[in-house]
C-alpha cells in the first residue's frame, strides 16, 4: 500500500492539494486561486473547467513537491465548496453554463415565492434546510429554465447535475463515476435526511428530472479510481465530504456535543449531534455530517456567508491593504474600532437571521474613523457573527458550549482569535494543523482503504497549537454585543422598503 494520502480541497476561491503521511502531518501542499465571475450584482459564478484544471494541476504539483508518484498514494480524498452547482453534458463532459456558486442570490425572488406558498415546513421537515438561494436545487432549476434547450436535454437524460465533488470525481475517473456523498447530497434541498434518499416530491416541486442526479454514497468507501489523468497509476478515490463536514471530522469532533468553527471565505460552525437529526428552533440548519460503515452522524450548522471574504474586499474592493495577511497589522495599530461596526452582508445575512435581502452596512463612522478602524471593524465582524451562531447553537442543543475548536486561514490571526474568546467568554482552541478540511477528507479516504485502522487511532493525532482564554471585562463585552445588535438592525432596516414595495 502507498505511504501517503492525497487530499483535494476544492474551495470557493482556490483549489488546493495536500499530501498527508501516516501521522497526519503535511508533506507537501500546492494551491492555485481561480477567477471569480460576477455577471451582475448578487450573481457569482465559476468556470467549471477552471475548477477541474486548477484542481488537477495542484494535485500533480503536490505529488511533485512531495517527490512521490502515484504508486506511493494509498487513496485520494475529496472535499469541496458545497451547494455550488454544475450541470454538464454526459457525452461531451462539457458544462452547459458556468458553475453557479453557493453565494449567488439570483434565485432569491423564487425562494420568496416558495415561502409565500407555504412550503417552508414541508421542505425543512424533509431536508433540515431552509428555503434559500444558498442551496443547489433552485440553481439547477434556474439553469434548466434559462439555458436554451437545457430542460429538453435534461428530460432526454443527456445532462448530469453535480456539486463540485461530483464534478471532480467525474473528471478524475474519466466519466466513470457520477456520484456524491451523503454530506453533499444533504445540501441540495433535494435529499431526504431521514430516509437518506433523493426525494421524489422535492424533485417534482423544483421540476428537476431524477436522471440528472448523482448516485449517493457514504463518505468513506472506495468509489472507483482515478484514470491516468493525474498519474499513470489508478489511485482509489475513497473519501468525499463537503468542506464543513470534512473540517468537523478533521478536528476529530467525532462525539456528540463537540463543535468547530471554520474561518474561510465564509464561516461555518458545526456541532456534532450524534445519530439523530435535531430540528433547529433557532434558524440553524440540520444536516448530515458523514456516513461511515453504514452509520450516519448528523450535525447542526450555522452558516455565515461572509467571513474571510471581508478581508479580500478590504484588499480588492477598497485597496486599504495589499495582502490579506496585512489586515492584522493594520487593525492592531488601533486599540479598538472606535465605535465603528461593520455588518458584511454582501450576500445577505445567513444564520441566525436568514435575511437574503440584507446588504453590507457600516455604522458609527466619524470624521476620526480611518482605514485601521475599518480593518478592525471588519475583523470584529467575523467574531460577532460567530457569536450569534454559537448562541443559537446553545439554545438548540440545550446545553452550554465550553470550548470551540477553530480552523481555517483566519485562525492564524491571533488578534481575531483573542477577540473571539473574549466575545464568547469561552476557550478557543487552535490545533497544530489548521488545514482540517483537507485533513478530514484524508482521514475519510484513509479509513476506507485501511491506511488508518479506526477513528480512535487517528484521534491521538489531534494536537493543540494555541488556546485563547477570555480576558475582557464582562461589562465591555456586554456593550460590544449590544452595539453589534444595533448594527444588525441597521443592516436589516435597509431591506424594509423592499418589503413595502413587494
| Annotated binding-site residue numbers for glycerol | 82-83, 134, 243-244
Q: Is the dihedral of CA 36, 39, 45, 49 positive or negative?
A: negative
Residues making up the annotated binding site are: 12-14, 16, 82-83, 134, 243-244, 265, 308, 312, 409, 413
Residues making up the annotated binding site for sn-glycerol 3-phosphate are: 12, 82-83, 134, 243
Please check whether residue 305 is in contact with residue 350, taking contact to mean a CB–CB distance below 8 angstroms. yes
* Cα separation, 80 vs 82, whole angstroms: 6
Phi–psi pair at 356, nearest 5 degrees: -75, -5
Residues making up the annotated binding site for ATP are: 12-14, 265, 308, 312, 409
Please check whether residue 279 is in contact with residue 27, taking contact to mean a CB–CB distance below 8 angstroms. no
* Cα separation, 405 vs 402, whole angstroms: 10
HSE of 151 in the Cβ direction (CA atoms, 13 Å)? 9
Type and span of the H or E element at 465? strand 464-468
* Cα separation, 121 vs 279, whole angstroms: 11
3 state DSSP class of 191: strand
* Cα separation, 107 vs 134, whole angstroms: 9
Phi–psi pair at 275, nearest 5 degrees: -90, 10
The runs of H, that is alpha helices, within 159-258 are 164-172, 182-185, 200-206, 243-250
* Cα separation, 95 vs 481, whole angstroms: 46
Residues making up the annotated binding site for ADP are: 12, 16, 265, 308, 409, 413
Cross-sheet strand order for the sheet of 295-304: 285-292, 295-304, 267-274, 259-263, 403-407, 427-431, 464-468
* Cα separation, 127 vs 147, whole angstroms: 27
Greatest alpha-carbon pair distance for the chain in Å reads 65
Phi–psi pair at 221, nearest 5 degrees: -165, 160
Phi–psi pair at 224, nearest 5 degrees: 165, -155
Pairing between β-strand 99-100 and β-strand 191-192 as defined by DSSP bridges: unpaired
**Residue 80 grid cell:** 469541496
Please check whether residue 444 is in contact with residue 220, taking contact to mean a CB–CB distance below 8 angstroms. yes
Please check whether residue 206 is in contact with residue 140, taking contact to mean a CB–CB distance below 8 angstroms. yes
The strand pairing partners of 291, in sequence order, are: 296
DSSP string, 228-255: SSSSSS--EEEEEEEHHHHHHHHTT--S
Amino acid at each position: 500500500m502507498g505511504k501517503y494520502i492525497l487530499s483535494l480541497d476544492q474551495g470557493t476561491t482556490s483549489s488546493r492539494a495536500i499530501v498527508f503521511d501516516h501521522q497526519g502531518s503535511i508533506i507537501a501542499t500546492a494551491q492555485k486561486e481561480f477567477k471569480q465571475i460576477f455577471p451582475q450584482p448578487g450573481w457569482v459564478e465559476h468556470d467549471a473547467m477552471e475548477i477541474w484544471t486548477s484542481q488537477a494541476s495542484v494535485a500533480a504539483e503536490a505529488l511533485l513537491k512531495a517527490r512521490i508518484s502515484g504508486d506511493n498514494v494509498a487513496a485520494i480524498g475529496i472535499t469541496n465548496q458545497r451547494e455550488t452547482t454544475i450541470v454538464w453534458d454526459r457525452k461531451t463532459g462539457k458544462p452547459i453554463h458556468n458553475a453557479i456558486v453557493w453565494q449567488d442570490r439570483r434565485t432569491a425572488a423564487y425562494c420568496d415565492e416558495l415561502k409565500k406558498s407555504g412550503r417552508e415546513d414541508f421542505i425543512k421537515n424533509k431536508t433540515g434546510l431552509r428555503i434559500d438561494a444558498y442551496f443547489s436545487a433552485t440553481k439547477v432549476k434556474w439553469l434548466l429554465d434559462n439555458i436554451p434547450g437545457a430542460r429538453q436535454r435534461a428530460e432526454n437524460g443527456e445532462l448530469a447535475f453535480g456539486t463540485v465533488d461530483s464534478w471532480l470525481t467525474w473528471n478524475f475517473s474519466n466519466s466513470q463515476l457520477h456520484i456524491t456523498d451523503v454530506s453533499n447530497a444533504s445540501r441540495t434541498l433535494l435529499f431526504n435526511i431521514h430516509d437518506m434518499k433523493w426525494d421524489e416530491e422535492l424533485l417534482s416541486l423544483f421540476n428537476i428530472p431524477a436522471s440528472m442526479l448523482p448516485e449517493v454514497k457514504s463518505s468513506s468507501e472506495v468509489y472507483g479510481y482515478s484514470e491516468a489523468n493525474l498519474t499513470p497509476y489508478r489511485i482509489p478515490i475513497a473519501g468525499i465530504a463537503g468542506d464543513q463536514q470534512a473540517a468537523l471530522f478533521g478536528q476529530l469532533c467525532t462525539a456528540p456535543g463537540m463543535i468547530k468553527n471554520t474561518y474561510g471565505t465564509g464561516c461555518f460552525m458545526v456541532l456534532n449531534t450524534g445519530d439523530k437529526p435535531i430540528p433547529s428552533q433557532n434558524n440553524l440548519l440540520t444536516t448530515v455530517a458523514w456516513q461511515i460503515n453504514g452509520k450516519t452522524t448528523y450535525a447542526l450548522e450555522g452558516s455565515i456567508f461572509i467571513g474571510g471574504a471581508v478581508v479580500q474586499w478590504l484588499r480588492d474592493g477598497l485597496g486599504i491593504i495589499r495582502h490579506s495577511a496585512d489586515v492584522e497589522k493594520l487593525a492592531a495599530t488601533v486599540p479598538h474600532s472606535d465605535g465603528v461596526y461593520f455588518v458584511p452582508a454582501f450576500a445577505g445575512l445567513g444564520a441566525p437571521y436568514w435575511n437574503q435581502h440584507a446588504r453590507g452596512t457600516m455604522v458609527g463612522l466619524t470624521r476620526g474613523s480611518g482605514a485601521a478602524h475599518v480593518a478592525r471593524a471588519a475583523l470584529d465582524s467575523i467574531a460577532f457573527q460567530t457569536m450569534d451562531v454559537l448562541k443559537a447553537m446553545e439554545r438548540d442543543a440545550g446545553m452550554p458550549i465550553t470550548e470551540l475548536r477553530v480552523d481555517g486561514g483566519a485562525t492564524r490571526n491571533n488578534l481575531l482569535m483573542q477577540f473571539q474568546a473574549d466575545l464568547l467568554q469561552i476557550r478557543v482552541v487552535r490545533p497544530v494543523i489548521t488545514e482540517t478540511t483537507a485533513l478530514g477528507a484524508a482521514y475519510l479516504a484513509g479509513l476506507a482503504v485501511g491506511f488508518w485502522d479506526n477513528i480512535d487511532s487517528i484521534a491521538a493525532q489531534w494536537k493543540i497549537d494555541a488556546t485563547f482564554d477570555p480576558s475582557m471585562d464582562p461589562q465591555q463585552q456586554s456593550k460590544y454585543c449590544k452595539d453589534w445588535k444595533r448594527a444588525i438592525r441597521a443592516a436589516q432596516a435597509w431591506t424594509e422598503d423592499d418589503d413595502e414595495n413587494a
